[in-house]
Every structure is written in structure tokens, then in C-alpha cells.
């Protein structure tokens, strides 16, 4: 294992490139793949505390999102909500799960309207007092480290990243992840890496920089630009988890792609069952094969393969035709 890069409270992290939490993508199968290739820690997709509070059924979708493999440690459960007391109560229960996570993270970045407008996700950035109360409560009631992932603010005229970063640190957050956009930007425009540097300078706890890392070289560029302790990669890891192994998309061989897709499909079938495992694999497969020659011929048979054997057949027929 590589040397310790930084600590989140007492939890050591052995690397500086980390798969970002992504709803619908950073599930157990994809996280395992990214971890094997070098992502240094795991975040679940964000999970709604209201749903967690409403059911204890472990096969409910919200609870399934919290299933992880012990090889993933350090493991972070990311939650969101708008009711501070409920968030604290749910987080306190999560730390007593078996197996327990290593870290609990609060989502302060989601820009989806019905979440943000209700004061959850990036909507929290409009209420710094609420953030202070939440983190004060979490850090007094949890023995696990608590962290936050935020955007820069609600819109360009109300950027609060430095203020909120200080509030987080003052109220016990042990790490801050910053996506360099405001809520109103969605994923448009460019992430503001200068703002990430401002957060890095404003606090002592570790800072993860995030936004627009597209290549292996970008990882080093973002770190050099901001001084951040680690870099979080979201969209660029979909279809190219090898970014964590230091390889850009065009450096990955066809055989490596096929071997990884087979494994990803099998992990999906194991975790979600035949039907959903396949359906949920399709969006990844479409991204893995992006840019391959004569990809149209491969797309339909690949995206409809019901088993790994059928997947192999589709790839074999395509490779045969490509060589002919």
C-alpha cells in the first residue's frame, strides 16, 4: 500500500485521487473498479436522510446505497437533507451500522431544483447558520469524523465558499471537498480553481479540489494550482476509471477495456441481480466503448447482452468483423 497522503481526523488516506460521489454512478460495483485502479477512498452516492428515517428495511433502495465492501475503507456515507435535527439523528444511527462507515459526509452541492429549493444540498449554502448548527451537532454526537462537500455558493453574486469553509472547520468538519462552481452554474462554464485555492488557504483541515479534472495531467495541475490535499474526479472517471491508474482514455488497450467491462458487468449482475444489473450497466458500457472504431455495430448487441457469455459473443462478433 502506498504511503499515507493525508488524514481525515484519525483516518489515513493512502492516495490523492478520489472517485467523486455521483448519484446513479458511484455504486458498489463502480467504486470497486475505481478502487482497484487507484482511487484512494470511497464515497457512496448521496442518500436522503428522510428516506433513511422512514424505513429500516435493508432492501430499500436508500439502504442498498449504503452497502459497501470492507476493501473500500476508508468508506464515506454521504447524506443530504434539510432538517438539521433529523440529519444529526440519522447520522448518529449510521455510525452504529454494522459494518460502520469510517466517515459521514454532508452534501452541500446538489443543485437539483426540488432538493436545493428545499434547503438541502446546495440550498444549505444560503443558510450558513444552519450549517454551523448542523456541524456542531454532528461533531458533538458522532465519534466518526464528519466532512462536507460544497459548491462555491448559490450564484455568482453570493459566493460563500471561504465563509462556509471557516464555519465548517470551526464546527468540527475534518475535511472539506469543494466543487469550484456555484449552484446556478450547474455543470456549465468552467470550475473556478482560484476559489478552491482560497478555501485551501482559509482552513487547516484537508481540502479536496473538484471540478473539470479531465485527464491525468489535470490531477497534478489542480493540485499545483490550489495546493489542495487531494483531487476528486467525477465525470471523467465514467468510461475511464483508468484515470486513477494514471492512464488517459487513449492509453487504454482494447483488451483492457473488454476485460474491465466483463468484470463490471459481472459485479453489476452480482449486486443488482440479472435484470437491473444489466440495465444499470448500459450507461457505463456506452461510455467505455465511446470512440472505438465501428462502434455502432457493437452498441446494440453489447447494451442488450443479458449475461457475460452474451457480452463476450457480442464483443467477439464485433472484433471479428472489425478485423475482416
Q: Which residues are catalytic?
A: 110
Q: Nearest approach, Cβ of 43 to ligand FMN (angstroms)?
A: 7
Please report whether residue 235 would count as binding ligand FMN according to CB under 6 A. yes
Q: Quote the strand ranges of 146-251, DSSP E.
A: 146-150, 176-179, 207-210, 230-233
- Among the listed ranges 61-69, 230-238, 282-290, 298-306, the one in contact with ligand FMN (CB under 6 A) is 230-238
CA–CA distance, 186 with 164 (Å, rounded to integer): 19
Q: Please report how close the Cβ of residue 196 comes to ligand FMN at its closest, in angstroms.
A: 12
Contact status: 24 vs ligand FMN (CB under 6 A): yes
Cell reading at 253? 488497450
The reply to whether 240 sits near ligand FMN by the rule CB under 6 A is no
> In the set 16, 35, 174, 179, which binds ligand FMN (CB under 6 A)?
179
At residue 27's C-alpha, the angle toward residues 26 and 30, to 5°, is 75
Nearest-approach distance from CB 63 to ligand FMN, in angstroms: 16
Residues 6 or more apart whose Cβ sits within 8 Å of residue 281: 264, 265, 268, 269
Q: Which three cell numbers stand for residue 89?
A: 439523528
Helix, coil or strand: residue 68: coil
Question: Which residue is it, cell 473539470?
Answer: 212
| CA distances to 6, 42, 65, 192 from 108, in Å | 23, 18, 19, 17
Q: Segment near ligand FMN (CB under 6 A), from 94-102, 219-227, 228-236, 261-269?
A: 228-236
**Binding-residue total with ligand FMN (CB under 6 A):** 21
Q: Is 152 in the site for ligand FMN (CB under 6 A)?
A: no
x/- site string to ligand FMN, residues 256 to 295, per CB under 6 A?
----------------------------------------
The helix or strand, by DSSP H or E, that contains position 77, with its residue range, turns out to be strand 75-80
Distances (CA, A) of 200 to 43, 66, 175, 194, 260: 21, 30, 11, 10, 36
Tell me the closest approach of the beta carbon of residue 301 to ligand FMN, in angstroms: 26
324's CB contacts (< 8 A; 6+ apart) are none
C-beta of 57: minimal distance to ligand FMN in Å? 22
Cβ atoms < 10 Å from Cβ of 131 = 24
By CB under 6 A, residue 109 contacts ligand FMN: yes
Q: Which is nearer to ligand FMN, 34 or 258 (CB)?
A: 34
Extract the C-alpha cell encoding 322. 472489425
Q: Quick check: 213 binds ligand FMN (CB under 6 A)? A: yes
Q: Is 66 near ligand FMN (CB under 6 A)?
A: no
Cell readout for 56 is 429500516
Cβ atoms of 157 and 125 within 8 Å: the answer is: no
- Residue 206 beta carbon to ligand FMN: minimum distance, rounded to whole angstroms: 17
| From 1-9, 211-219, 278-286, 294-302, span contacting ligand FMN (CB under 6 A) | 211-219
Residues that bind ligand FMN (CB under 6 A): 20-25, 45-46, 78, 107, 109, 149, 179, 210-213, 233-236
Amino acid at each position: 500500500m502506498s504511503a499515507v497522503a493525508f488524514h481525515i481526523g484519525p483516518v489515513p488516506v493512502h492516495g490523492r485521487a478520489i472517485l467523486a460521489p455521483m448519484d446513479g454512478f458511484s455504486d458498489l460495483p463502480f467504486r470497486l473498479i475505481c478502487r482497484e485502479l487507484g482511487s484512494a477512498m470511497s464515497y457512496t452516492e448521496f442518500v436522503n436522510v428522510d428516506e433513511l428515517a422512514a424505513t429500516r428495511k435493508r432492501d430499500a433502495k436508500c439502504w442498498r446505497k449504503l452497502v459497501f465492501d470492507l476493501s473500500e475503507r476508508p468508506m464515506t456515507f454521504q447524506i443530504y437533507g434539510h432538517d438539521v435535527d433529523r440529519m444529526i439523528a440519522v447520522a448518529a444511527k449510521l455510525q452504529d451500522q454494522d459494518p460502520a462507515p469510517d466517515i459521514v459526509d454532508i452534501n452541500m452541492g446538489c443543485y437539483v431544483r426540488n432538493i436545493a429549493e428545499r434547503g438541502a444540498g446546495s440550498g444549505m449554502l444560503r443558510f450558513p447558520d444552519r450549517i454551523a448548527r448542523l456541524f456542531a451537532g454532528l461533531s458533538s454526537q458522532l465519534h466518526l469524523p464528519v466532512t462536507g462537500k460544497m459548491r462555491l455558493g448559490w450564484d455568482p453574486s453570493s459566493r460563500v465558499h471561504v465563509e462556509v469553509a471557516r464555519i465548517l472547520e470551526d464546527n468540527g468538519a475534518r475535511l472539506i471537498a469543494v466543487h469550484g462552481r456555484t449552484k446556478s452554474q450547474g455543470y456549465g462554464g468552467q470550475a473556478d480553481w482560484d476559489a478552491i485555492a482560497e478555501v485551501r488557504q482559509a482552513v487547516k483541515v484537508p481540502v479536496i479540489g473538484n471540478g473539470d479534472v479531465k485527464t491525468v495531467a489535470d490531477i497534478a495541475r489542480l493540485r499545483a494550482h490550489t495546493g489542495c490535499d487531494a483531487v476528486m474526479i467525477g465525470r471523467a472517471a465514467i468510461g475511464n476509471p483508468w484515470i486513477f491508474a494514471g492512464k488517459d482514455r487513449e492509453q487504454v488497450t482494447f483488451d483492457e477495456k473488454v476485460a474491465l467491462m466483463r468484470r463490471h458487468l459481472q459485479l453489476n449482475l452480482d449486486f443488482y441481480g440479472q435484470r437491473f444489473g444489466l440495465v444499470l450497466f448500459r450507461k457505463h458500457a456506452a461510455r467505455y466503448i465511446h470512440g472505438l472504431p465501428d462502434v455502432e455495430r457493437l452498441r446494440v448487441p453489447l447494451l442488450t447482452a443479458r449475461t457475460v457469455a452474451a457480452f463476450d459473443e457480442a464483443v467477439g462478433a464485433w472484433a471479428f468483423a472489425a478485423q475482416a
